[in-house]
Homo-oligomer: A and B are copies of this chain.
Amino acid sequence: MIQTPYLLFLGDAPDALAAKVAQGIRDWRPENCVGQYRMEGCKADLKLPDMTLAEAKAAGAKTLVIGVANRGGVISKAWKKVLVEALEEGFDLASGLHNLLHDEPDLVAVAQATGRSLHDVRVPEVDYPVADGVKRSGKRVLAVGTDCSVGKMYTALALDKAMREKGMKSTFHATGQTGILITGDGVPLDAVIADFMAGSIEWLTPPNDADHWGIIEGQGSLFHVSFSGVTLALIHGGQPDALILCHEPTRTHMRGLPGYALPSLEDLRDLSLQMARVANPDCRVVGVSINTQHMSEAEAANYCAEVEARLGLPTVDPFRHGAARLAEALGAY
C-alpha cells in the first residue's frame, strides 16, 4: 500500500506522453496529487502547482511518485539526486519503471537509513495464496477485451467514477502498474507466479457489503495467446457477477500477433461467460465499452448504436460518452 497524497515527479520528460502515468493519476485521483516536481527541460505539465520537495512535504505529500518514463533504461544521475533528497526529506518513493528502485544500492541504503519505503509496483510485495474458489460476499464486475490494450483500465476507472457520482458503493481494484500507482494499491498480476495468479485476485477482492461493487481492472484477453492465462486467472479469481465487453473496432489483428484475427464481440461474450460461470453461475454481461479513438464522432455514434442493437446491451465509449449507462446497468443488476 502506497501512502497518499503524492508529489508527482515528472523529471525531464521530453513530451507530455512520457508523463502519461502521472497524467493518469492526475485525471483519476486528483485528490491524491499535492503537486508536480519538474526538472529543468521538462516538457510535460499537469497543471498542478510546481513544488519543491520541502514545499510538497509541508503541504502533506507522503510519497514521491515517478510518473514519467526514463530514457535509455537507466535512472540518470540527475534523477537520482532528486530521489535521494526526497528520501532524506521523508518521502517514500513509488515507481513502475522496469529498472527497479530496489536494484539501486544507493537508494536502498538511503531508504534504510531514513526508514522510508521504496515501492516498485512491477514487483509483488505480498506472498499471495493459492485460490480457494470460495464465494465472497459483495458484487464484482470485470472488463474483458477482444484484445489487449483496448481500454479495459479506462473503462474500469470511468465506471468507478460514474458509480461514485451516483452514490453507489464501489472500489477500483488495480491489476497493473499504472492502476496501482493511480490508486496506491493493487496486484501487479503480470509479475505474479503462475500458481498464485487467481489467489492474488481473491486476495485483492475480499468479501464486502452486499451492495458494494468491486471493479476489477482487466488484463490481456482470452483470445490473446501471449497473455490469455493471465486473463483466465482474473476471471476465475475475481468470480465476477458482471462482465463488460471491451473492443477497439479499427484494429486489424491482435496486438503484437500478426496473423491472429480479433474475435467478434459475440465470441467474447460467449466464451467469457462460459469461463466466468465455472466460478460464478450467476455471472452475466451487462454492457459494452467501445474505444472509438480512431473514429469520427458520427462513426463512433453509429458503431455504438449498431452494437447496442445487435447485442441488446448498453454500449458506450466511456471517453466520449461517460460510463453512466454502464453504472446504471450495474445499479439495475
Contacts and interface: CB of A to CB of B under 8 A. Distances in A.
Given A191-B193, A195-B190, A225 B236 contact: yes
Contact of A236 (B132, B197, B228): B228
B226 A194 contact: no
Interface string A172-215: 00000000000000000111111101110000000000000000
Contact of A133 (B194, B232, B257, B274): B257
B198 A225 contact: yes
Contact of A198 (B226, B259, B260): B226
B133 A260 contact: yes
A236 to B, nearest CB: 4
Given A133-B260, A236-B228, A194 B195 contact: no
A329 to B, nearest CB: 25
Nearest to A130: B226
Interface in A208-266: 222-223, 225-233, 236-237, 254, 256-257, 259-260
Nearest to A135: B259
A271 interface: yes
A279 interface: yes
A222 to B, nearest CB: 8
A200 B305 CA distance: 42
Contact of A194 (B132, B190, B257): B190
Contacts of A256: 132
Contacts of A198: 225-229
A131 B236 CA distance: 22
Nearest to A257: B133
A132 B226 contact: yes
A278 interface: yes
Interface in A89-146: 130-133
Q: Which one of A191, A223, A236, A274 has the greatest number of beta carbons of chain B within 10 Å?
A: A236
A228 to B, nearest CB: 5
A229 B229 contact: yes
A230 B260 contact: no
Contacts of A257: 132-133
A192 to B, nearest CB: 5
A226 B133 contact: yes
A228 B223 contact: no
A285 B187 CA distance: 36
B237 A232 contact: no
Given A133-B259, A191-B195, A198-B228, 10 more contacts: A133-B254, A133-B257, A133-B260, A192-B194, A193-B193, A194-B194, A194-B233, A222-B232, A228-B275, A271-B274
Interface of A: 130-133, 189-195, 197-199, 222-223, 225-233, 236-237, 254, 256-257, 259-260, 271, 274-275, 278-279
Nearest first, the 8 closest Cβ-Cβ pairs linking A and B are: A229-B233, A225-B236, A229-B229, A190-B195, A131-B226, A133-B225, A229-B232, A133-B257
